[in-house]
Structure 1
Amino acid sequence: MSDHDILSDAEREALSAVMLEPDLPMQRVLIVDDDKDARELLSQILELDGIRCRTAASGETALKMLVNEEELKKLSIGLVITDLRMGNVDGLDLVRQVRESARAALPIIIVSGDADVKDAIEAMHLSVVDFLLKPIDTGKLLALVKHELGMDVQEPI
């Protein structure tokens, strides 16, 4: 910071963040995957398109985030993208538990690199938005996410 700067870089960043914040909290996408690299890559892809994300390394962590009311107010999660195959609480278990909670109407997208027709049918019976196979078509995913969050899907992908 030079002598003639009024704000430090950190203060300037904080001010920019506040000025960019809309009055209503922007809905975020919760990405649930036990594979750290997959979680981070998906988060980066969405954030490059202006979509805010939170991540969870397990179905259990995601459920805690989704049912904790204070956490919900802070996070304003509007969509969940979950991997199918995870530890104790897999993607289908997560969807089932969300559907039985106060967040039953929450849109959910399942992604999987290892799925069969039975999994896809069960997911559709649980009213998921879509069931995408890995490697994910990022254009399709971005269009789905923007549609579910009420964002302009006409933007170039």
Structure 2
Amino acid sequence: MTLPWRIAIIDDERSVRSGLSNLLQSDGYATDTFDSAEVFLSHPTALSNASLVITDIRLRGMNGLALFEKLRLLATPPPPILFISGHADDTLQRYALSLGAVAFLLKPINADVLLDHIQQALARR
């Protein structure tokens, strides 16, 4: 059964996009995957369909933090955003959370922790 929630996954690594999409679909979520912030933003319905956005911090082109700022300008309210990264430090994590991110998870991602954050964020919507 697919839940009414659609999650956008933005990561420039195909294996990460695929793995997260498969995990979320197996838990009942619909997913859309994008290899860059620019592709996500240029898609005609991606933002309006997104109940939640999962994005890598480091992307080719526009990075995850710049995407977050753009979403805050384009959507009222913007969808919750959850950051993932294989290259982060405590300062970057604190900064992203201070901006209002749902969570900041380091790769490799613990599936149970990810699903808990998603459930909590969507329950607040």
Over 3 Å counting, the alpha-carbon distance change for 1:103 and 1:59 in structure 2 is farther
CA distance, structure 1, for counterparts of residue 58 and residue 10 of structure 2: 11
| Paired residue type of 2:12 | D
Which residue of 1 is the match for residue 116 of structure 2?
143
CA distance, structure 2, for counterparts of residue 50 and residue 102 of structure 1: 25
CA distance, structure 1, for counterparts of residue 104 and residue 35 of structure 2: 19
Matched, 1:88 2:54: no
CA distance, structure 1, for counterparts of residue 106 and residue 76 of structure 2: 25
CA distance, structure 1, for counterparts of residue 84 and residue 46 of structure 2: 23
Deviation track 1:69-92 (CA, whole Å, cap 9, x = no partner) reads xx159x621000001111111111
Percent identity over the alignment is: 35
Which residue of 1 is the match for residue 29 of structure 2?
51
CA RMSD of aligned residues (A): 2.2
CA contact (8 A) 2:85 2:107 kept: yes
Matched, 1:117 2:90: yes
CA contact (8 A) 2:2 2:28 kept: no
Which residue of 2 is the match for residue 77 of structure 1?
50
| Paired residue type of 1:144 | H
CA distance, structure 1, for counterparts of residue 90 and residue 12 of structure 2: 22
TM-score normalised by structure 1 residue count = 0.71
SS of 1:86's partner is coil
CA contact (8 A) 1:32 1:80 kept: yes
Q: What is the Cα deviation at residue 100 of structure 1?
A: 1.8
Q: What is the Cα deviation at residue 143 of structure 1?
A: 1.3
CA contact (8 A) 2:5 2:30 kept: yes
Bigger radius of gyration, 1 or 2?
1
SS of 2:74's partner is coil
Could you list the runs of 4 or more consecutive aligned residues of structure 1 that deviate by over 3 angstroms after TM superposition? none
Between 1 and 2, higher relative CO (CA 8 Å, sep ≥ 6) is seen in 2
Q: What is the Cα deviation at residue 105 of structure 1?
A: 3.1
Determine which of 59, 78, 83 is the counterpart of 1:105: 78
CA distance, structure 1, for counterparts of residue 71 and residue 11 of structure 2: 16
| Paired residue type of 1:111 | I
SS of 2:95's partner is helix
For structure 1, the 5+ residue unaligned runs are 1-19, 152-157
CA contact (8 A) 1:99 1:126 kept: no
